[in-house]
Amino acid sequence: MDSYLRTGLDSTGPRTPVVEETPVIATRTAAEVGGEQRPHAQAWSEKAPPVALGTRRVPKATGGSDSTLWMLIGVAAIAVIGLIPLWLFVYQAYTAPVVVPTPAPGTTTVVPTPGSETLVTVPNLGGLSAADAQRLAESVGLNLEVPGEEETSDVRPGAVAQQTPGVGTRVPVSDTVSVILAAGRPLVMPDIAGYDLDTVQLGLESDGLLVALVELRSPETKGSVLEQEPVAETEVRAGDTVTLTVSGGGDVAIPLVVNLNGQVLLEQAWVSQFAYRPGETVPVTLRWRCLAALGSSYQVFIHVLTEDGGTLIAQRDIVPVNGLRPTTSWTVGEIINDPHQIALPEGTTAGTYQVRVGLYDAGGRLPVADAGETRVLDDTIFVTTITVR
């Protein structure tokens, strides 16, 4: 048993490490290898230690690879740092709150609603005069009506006290806003005929009146008041409408709306001047609308006659548009603007003369079916009068 235990201890106990000795290989100097002593052999052997045959030198590690590694690490760091501003910009762009512009006070944005009519927001008309309320309502596409007034001390007389629909309501374009004005004192309508429109309009509106304008062709100074409704000395109140007829000079179209045989409508005419001298030319522009196809080529006639219509003093007969647009080329619905020049004779007597027009062919004048807004005699259409001085 003791022998057995000693054997176990010997096999399990710590063992002395076995060191394998490397055999020593004898070395020789270069002189010994050569078999003779060279003159410089001694010096060489002193400078370089003997090298064992059968072995080689292992090169020592240098600092070159460390510097390259650090250079690559620096380049990578610079690249990462350079990307930080770009990342911040993208982050802010995607996380910044969206700012919706707020409309300025008193403005209204028209918002089209898909599949329905366009809606607008009713503005605040409270405290405005009737004229200012009307302008603001019309600026957003709405109409204004004043059904009445009420006694109140909340706003000045003549100003808007109530409105329906209320402020901020969404309504269709062209809808009507009704306003109730604060009751004001009765006003007596002044006589403003002959005054310049710019002089009287502001005063009427400041009294809470609504001013409606009608412009007419007139030899009077452009902008002067020709007529008024209500007439002078009529009692009016804030919110009432005053209609003023003003001169538009000679540039305003003359409404005619004359139907010729259901085929042509003479809608308007322009005669730019009111007074001429003998030998001068009278410019006349006619606006035709084709209602039905014309199988015949009609000519336009323009006559200048004495005031009683008894004497013809000048005339012009020509295919429309100086011969360029015969009536056979007109298409249904087409509008033809037709300019003409009629020369007055040198010896024309001073006075008032009529200008009349019409259409004719070989079979006679195209008959007038409806005189519209003017006078017709023997299928000649009265356009206007001119004065020869």
CATH number at residue 195: 3.30.10.20
Q: Residue 334 and residue 325: Cα distance in Å, rounded? A: 12
Highest mean pLDDT among 47-61, 232-246, 316-330: 316-330
**Mean pLDDT confidence for 121-139:** 92
Query: Which pLDDT tens digit goes with each residue over 56-86?
Result: 444 444 455 677 777 778 777 777 777 777 6
Domain count, the chain: 3
Residues 261 and 380 in one domain: yes
Residue 24: is its pLDDT beyond 70?
A: no
Asked if residue 242 is part of any domain, the answer here is: yes
Torsion sign, CA atoms 127, 131, 135, 141:
positive
Residue 48 gets the label, from left (phi > 0), alpha (psi -120 to 50) or beta, of: beta
Say which range, 109-113, 158-162, 350-354, 375-379, has the weakest mean pLDDT.
109-113
Asked if residue 300 is part of any domain, the answer here is: yes
Q: Please state the length of the chain.
A: 389
Partner residues linked to 385 by β-bridges: 354
Residues 153 and 233 in one domain: no
Which residue's structure tokens are 């006003």? 187
> Contact 304/344 with Cβ under 8 angstroms?
yes
Query: Which pLDDT tens digit goes with each residue over 197-224?
Result: 999 998 998 888 889 999 999 999 999 9
Residues 278 and 372 in one domain: yes
Q: Residue 105 and residue 124: Cα distance in Å, rounded? A: 10
**Mean pLDDT confidence for 106-128:** 71
Side-chain-side CA neighbours of 42 within 13 Å: the count stands at 2
Model confidence band, residue 92 (pLDDT cutoffs 50, 70, 90): low
Asked if residue 83 is part of any domain, the answer here is: no
Asked if residue 354 is part of any domain, the answer here is: yes
Residues 221 and 154 in one domain: no
Residues 191 and 178 in one domain: no
**Mean pLDDT confidence for 10-26:** 45
Model confidence band, residue 186 (pLDDT cutoffs 50, 70, 90): confident
**Residue after which a domain boundary falls, among 182, 204, 224:** 182
Residues 328 and 375 in one domain: yes
Full-model pTM = 0.56
Phi and psi torsions of 203, nearest 5°? -65, -40
Domain with residue 317: its CATH number is 2.60.40.2550
Domain of 317, in residue numbers? 254-388
**Mean pLDDT confidence for 245-269:** 96
**Mean pLDDT confidence for 162-188:** 91
Residue 16: is its pLDDT beyond 50?
A: no
Comparing 40 with 129, the larger pLDDT belongs to 129
Amino acid 29: pLDDT: 44
Residues 286 and 371 in one domain: yes
